[in-house]
Amino acid sequence: MSKRDYYETLGVSNTASDADIKKAFRRLAMKYHPDRNPDDEEAEHSFKEAKEAFDVLSSPDKRAAYDQFGHAGVDQSVGGGGFGSSGFGDAFSDIFGDIFGGGGRSRVRKGADLQYNLELSLEDAVAGTTVKIRVPTLKHCTSCSGSGAKPGSSPETCNTCGGHGQVRMQQGFFSVQQTCPNCRGKGSIISDPCDTCHGAGRVKEHKSLSVEVPAGVDNGDRIRLSGEGEAGEAGAPAGDLFVQIHVKPHPIFERDNADLYCEVPINIVTAALGGELEVPSLGGRLNLKIPAGTQTHKLFRMRGKGVKPVRGGPVGDLICRIVVETPVKLNGEQKELLEKLGQSMGKASNKHSPNENSWIDSMKKFFEDMKS
């Protein structure tokens, strides 16, 4: 079967520039690459045709031979193994970058991100504060300005990969890329390393930072400090520092999003007769009115006395949860008074203890159902 004209395969004229040829091949390779078209024999065939046409037309010598003698002038040189031609290598490196999200050339690597766990009191988390922290990190070596080379010298381009950081072996129409074993992907070699960092370009240090904690932060929130992470290799930008917020347990309050909860113990006299007492809030003391007949677990909501969320929204509430305490260590007189109270209440127990009597009725029905 006769081969298609290479110019026709790439969709360009025979006067096309090198840039036009490269652009046409990139477009076809993106469209027909086998990794984008698995198990598609037609796409694989089109990709091979485009690769073969580009391999010839991207080489000045091969293109001249093809223009003069057609396919007969280049059949012996197409499809060879080993490293690809420079033109093919550059374009194919770009194609892999477009398809797989990374180019074949060496790239400076941003420094690693760091995390610092910051413990705060509930008061500081709600009101906001400024905290000084000390963080261990890697910083650019000042002696060599992060290059890793001794002052007065500089890193040399790697001879193995030509500064690309990648080496590529071509087998048939496949091109396999690997990290350069000589420079380990950096693209350069340091023959005379810095005495301070020993060629790493970075040194271990502790640095002190002031962290502005906004009002309303909660457990799990993170504060990002851009560029305060580890320094990158060979002078690359530093990573970020993430300050992870941990709010310590509070002896009085529990937080639930924007609301605060607290337990308020009261004696049976206040619960039965009602009264008024002081309760704490993060803004100071508040007066809470207790109506007569208040039961344990009764909730009282104090509007706007909670937390203003860090991401905006209305201020939460303070919710007081009542706990009625049973009196202990009674003297004889007190016991006698309670016994008299119990005898008095017994005559009208349905009226004074509705929950108890409702529970007793439910228990009686439960046992009756078991018998039937």
Mean pLDDT of 306-332: 92
Tell me, what's the pLDDT at 117?
A: 94
Q: Which two tokens stand for residue 342?
A: 């119990």
pLDDT confidence of residue 298: 93
pLDDT(86) > 70: no
Q: What is the pLDDT of residues 197-238, one digit of tens each?
A: 888 788 888 889 999 999 999 999 999 998 888 887 766 788
Work out the pLDDT band at 84, boundaries 50, 70, 90. Answer: very low
Helices 86-100 and 18-32, packing angle to 10 deg: 40
Q: Can you list the domains of the chain with their CATH numbers?
A: 6-100 (1.10.287.110), 114-155+190-247 (2.60.260.20), 250-352 (2.60.260.20)
**Of 257 and 74, more confident:** 257
222 vs 89: which has the higher pLDDT: 222
Q: Give a three-class secondary structure readout of the chain.
A: CCCCCHHHHHCCCCCCCHHHHHHHHHHHHHHHCCCCCCCCHHHHHHHHHHHHHHHHHCCHHHHHHHHHHHHHHCCCCCCCCECCCHHHHHHHHHHHHHHHCCCCCCCCCCCCCEEEEEEECHHHHHHCEEEEEEEEEEEECCCCCCCCECCCCCCEECCCCCCCCEEEEEECCEEEEEECCCCCCCCEECCCECCCCCCCCEEEEEEEEEEEECCCCCCCCEEEECCCCCCCHHHCCCCCEEEEEEECCCCCEEEECCEEEEEEEECHHHHHHCEEEEEEECCEEEEEEECCCCCCCCEEEECCCCCCCCCCCCCCCEEEEEEECCCCCCCHHHHHHHHHHHHHHHCCHHHHCHHHHHHHHHHHHHHHHHHC
Q: Compare 191 and 299 and report the one with higher pLDDT.
A: 299
Point out the least confidently predicted range of 73-87, 114-128, 194-208, 290-304. Answer: 73-87
Percent of the chain residues topping a pLDDT of 90: 33
Instruction: Give the separation between CA 111 and CA 58, rounded to whole angstroms.
Output: 38
Model confidence pLDDT, tens digit, residues 159-188: 888 777 888 766 655 667 778 887 877 788
Question: What pTM value is reported for the model?
Answer: 0.56
pLDDT above 70: percentage of residues in the chain = 84
For tokens 């970075």, name the residue.
202
